[in-house]
Amino acid sequence: MVNFIKRDKDDIYAKPVLGFLFKNQKFLLSLKIAVSVLFVYALYFGFAHTGKDNTFTTAVFWGIFWSLFMVLTLPTFGRIFCGICPHGFMGKYITKYGLKKTMPKWMQNRFIGVLLLVFGWWGIYYMFPGLFRTPQGTAILFTVMTLIAFVIYFLYKDMSYCKYVCPIGTLTRAYAKLSFTWLGTYKSACNECRTFECATACPYNLKPFTFDNRNSMTDCTLCMDCSSACEAVSFKFKKPSFSLFSKLQPLKAEVWAYILILASISISMSFHHGIGRSNAADIMIWSKTAEFFKNYIDFGSIDTIGLFAFVYALIFTISAAIIGMFIASKILKKDFNATFYDLGYSYAPLFILGSIAHSLEVFFTKGYEHITEGFAYGFGFSLDVAPLASRGDSWLHIFGLLKWVAVIWAFIILYKRVKLLNVPKLRKIAAFPFAASLIIFFIGVNMYTGYIFKTYGKASSGHANHSSAQKRFQGTAENLKSSDTTALKKPDIKDTLYFSQTNPAIKKKTYGGGHYSRIPVKKVWPVFKDAKGKENCLGTIDAELYLLDANLNTTKIAHSKEPGCKSISFKMPDNGYYNLFYIDKKVQDDTLFVKTAKYEIMRFNHSNDAVYDKEKMAAHSIKEASFDIVRLRDDDETFYHNLYSGENIRVQVLLDGKAVEGADIALSTKTGWLKSLKTDKDGVASFMLINDYFPKWSEFDKRHKNEFLLTASYTKNVSENEGSKDYKKIRYTATYPSFYYPNSSQYSSYSYGLAAAIIAMIASGFAIFWYRSTREKPFKEVRFNEEN
């Protein structure tokens, strides 16, 4: 036993603050007790308060423990979460007084924990997304895990549960290899040691003095018990993932943890929660497979698309790794297993850094709010905080760079490990791209996801394949039912009426659109503005409603029946434009007021048989709409057409199907910009879509929708022969709402500016380094003649 040692500068124990945090046993014990109390209290709270108002239980387990704390600490300080884990802390004392049996050989299999995590958690998560995310579901899950852990701790010695059965045990061991810390010992002191207190103090029966020679910390959880037993134990800063740059004894379960967790989280999330938010979601292979099997199997409440996205992610990821490594082993003339498990450590950074990016972004957009308000609720007081950032804030994109850091890091590890092989250099070069097949696949998935969103756009309802939109609609309906129809304002006959995608009666905007079934459904609300400029919905609709579908068929439709704000929903089964018409005719004084409110939307499901039929996609009206606005299509328009600021939009005003000259038409935006024109002899007016979006550079959202409204009016005097005794003139009005996106030049300038700033910083760093290095003078011997 060593009582004093002079520590190196890179030893964390030698740092005043860090040394206290990682070595002081009283502090560590207090921390472990506090975490365990919080753990137990969160479980109790989950059973005692099962309603969705209980955000405390989910904040503790899904906000702090996973994924924020664990994901952030694994590639930095290592397995420090395991060091304070309530299971390990309490299990140490249970094992001390337990039966201390040796775990059977069949249970000493690290794949047990890995497969429990992959299928027992992630497989169920994708099939039943909300099962474990409720307070009660969370409490049940962790209570069952705790009971299993305590039984195994009591039966078997050496903390065998943590090594083999714990779902995150092997995972944390594997990803801790990326960290920049290392627990070892001072060799000079260990050479003379004969008592081995560090090994005796270890509850896992490990030998810290062997870690350096083995280039592995094995199952060390950084509980720091060994550091209190002997001063020769060190905890040093190292180069990140330095152990992977040297020879080591591969552990098969670690390599498979990298592959299976990458597939279960990163790739599955890209498929289901990434591409699943795009307009191309329904043509993906996992969606089509789900629809195929649903024709033969009743899956009940299972999310089949989530299930098959998970299955395909596993198939693609495992195939990429195995096929690539098999070819690489043939080129290297090495055994496949040796090649696979030796070079497979290069996969380590891919998942963990991508998860850090996701965890940090979620923390800033909603995690901080969820955790803070959840803890306030759990301890009996109310707190209302705002998120630290909003989705679309451009500075959040910096976290996305971590994925590419992971790719570069993976290539570096692969290069270092290939370099260790005793084979000719040319074979190494030829085998490298095949050994990197999973890394390349990871790059391809991320680039393909970006391509999908850029090409097909984001689905208006978020998850195109999810039922969340349907649930939102149901929630909205419940809110509307509580509205008092009689309290809703009624529009004046002269008020302008138009369609809105949001319900103005709901404080938190609910967008009426969704691909929550095989056939997309669009939901809109007819609204009007009062004298104060506030949007109001309609409590009753006594106008006629018509739908012109993509096949140019006109049908009469009905509005919603629930009390409160009336809405209109319609299905969009085919590709093409859908036009909804609200037509109202009323007489007041000596004038017939004819109102036409129009809503136009294009549906495109990106299937292989989709054909852009210019005749069907052209602007159309219906005979029932005597006065109408149509947007004239450009010759080069396709299914992918969007409107952008700086472009011109051409519209035509029709009266009884013929162009109207001299009609008043105006374009107005949400910010109050207004441009009024009169139609020419062809009934046409042209407007430039101005740049009407000026956020701070850090808040710029290139998918921001600038909403605008076209309003046309025309008054016609009626002669005695064609008129009615009830009116002498007809006042026609028509509305047409739409939106446009910011021009690419608006946000590309930000990208160029950021790139220029980064290049300038890098160049400055190199310039400073060069300047300082050239100033360093080499040692020069100077001799003096002492006689003089």
Residue 781: per-residue pLDDT: 56
> Minimum mean pLDDT among 65-69, 431-435, 533-537: which range?
65-69
Report residue 613: phi and psi, to 5°.
-90, 105
Residue 397: per-residue pLDDT: 83
What tokens were used for 137? 């579901």
Question: Is residue 239's pLDDT more than 90?
Answer: yes
Question: Is residue 123's pLDDT more than 80?
Answer: yes
The DSSP-derived string for 610-626 is ----HHHHS----TT-S
The whole-number average pLDDT for the span 535-545 is 90
The candidate with the shortest Cα–Cα distance to 582, out of 665, 499, 656, 501, is: 499
Rounded-to-integer distance, Cα 711 and Cα 539, Å? 23
Span 609-664, pLDDT tens digits: 678 888 889 999 999 999 999 999 988 888 878 898 888 999 999 999 999 999 99
| Helix pair angle (304-332, 252-261), 10° resolution | 130
Cα 438 to its chain centre, rounded Å, is 22
Long-range contacts of 509-513 (CB under 8 A, 24+ apart): 510/472, 510/473, 510/475, 510/476, 511/460, 511/461, 512/473, 512/567, 512/569, 513/460, 513/461, 513/469
Residue 659: per-residue pLDDT: 95
pTM for this entry: 0.63
Residue 478: per-residue pLDDT: 41
Span 338-370, pLDDT tens digits: 999 999 999 999 999 888 888 888 888 888 888
Higher pLDDT, 262 or 397: 262
> Minimum mean pLDDT among 232-241, 592-601, 671-680: which range?
671-680
Long-range contacts of 282-285 (CB under 8 A, 24+ apart): 282/464, 282/465, 282/515, 282/518, 282/605, 282/606, 283/605, 283/606, 283/607, 283/608, 284/309, 285/312
Whether 175 contacts 409, CB under 8 Å? no
At 454, the pLDDT band (50, 70, 90 cuts) reads confident
Cα 407 to its chain centre, rounded Å, is 19
Residue 475: per-residue pLDDT: 42
Residue 470: per-residue pLDDT: 39
Using a pLDDT cut of 70, give the percent of the chain over it.
Answer: 89
Whether 510 contacts 471, CB under 8 Å? no
Span 266-307, pLDDT tens digits: 999 999 988 988 888 989 999 999 999 998 999 988 999 999
Instruction: Count Cα neighbours of 667 within 13 Å in the Cβ-side half-sphere.
Output: 24
Whether 492 contacts 469, CB under 8 Å? no
Residue 517: per-residue pLDDT: 43
What tokens were used for 165? 């059965």
Distances (CA, A) of 327 to 253, 415, 430: 22, 17, 10
Residue in this structure with the two tokens 């290939």, named with its chain if needed: 418
At 607, the pLDDT band (50, 70, 90 cuts) reads low
Span 28-64, pLDDT tens digits: 999 999 999 999 999 999 999 888 778 899 999 998 9
Residue 754: per-residue pLDDT: 65
At 477, the pLDDT band (50, 70, 90 cuts) reads very low
Span 158-177, pLDDT tens digits: 999 999 999 999 999 999 99
Those residues with Cβ within 8 angstroms of residue 144's Cβ, 6 or more apart along the chain or in another chain:
none
3-state class (DSSP) for residue 588: strand
Residue 730: per-residue pLDDT: 92
Span 314-337, pLDDT tens digits: 999 999 999 999 999 999 999 999
Span 654-696, pLDDT tens digits: 999 999 999 999 999 988 889 999 999 999 999 999 887 877 7
Cα 60 to its chain centre, rounded Å, is 20
Residue 466: per-residue pLDDT: 44
What tokens were used for 674? 């207004």
The whole-number average pLDDT for the span 537-565 is 91
Whether 364 contacts 475, CB under 8 Å? no
Task: Give the range with max mean pLDDT: 472-481, 605-614, 691-700, 723-732.
Answer: 723-732
Question: Is residue 777's pLDDT more than 70?
Answer: no
Rounded-to-integer distance, Cα 497 and Cα 493, Å? 10
Q: Outline where DSSP puts E strands in 541-681.
A: 544-548, 554-556, 568-571, 576-588, 591-603, 627-631, 648-655, 658-659, 664-669, 674-678
At 504, the pLDDT band (50, 70, 90 cuts) reads confident
Rounded-to-integer distance, Cα 180 and Cα 75, Å? 7
Instruction: Count Cα neighbours of 283 within 13 Å in the Cβ-side half-sphere.
Output: 12
What tokens were used for 47? 């059973």
Q: What is the pLDDT of the chain when averaged over all its residues? A: 87
DSSP state of 77: T
The whole-number average pLDDT for the span 428-442 is 97
DSSP state of 3: S
Question: Is residue 483's pLDDT more than 60?
Answer: no
Whether 374 contacts 58, CB under 8 Å? yes
Residue 219: per-residue pLDDT: 95
Whether 318 contacts 263, CB under 8 Å? yes
Question: Is residue 414's pLDDT more than 60?
Answer: yes
Residue 490: per-residue pLDDT: 84
Span 75-105, pLDDT tens digits: 999 999 999 999 999 999 999 999 999 999 9
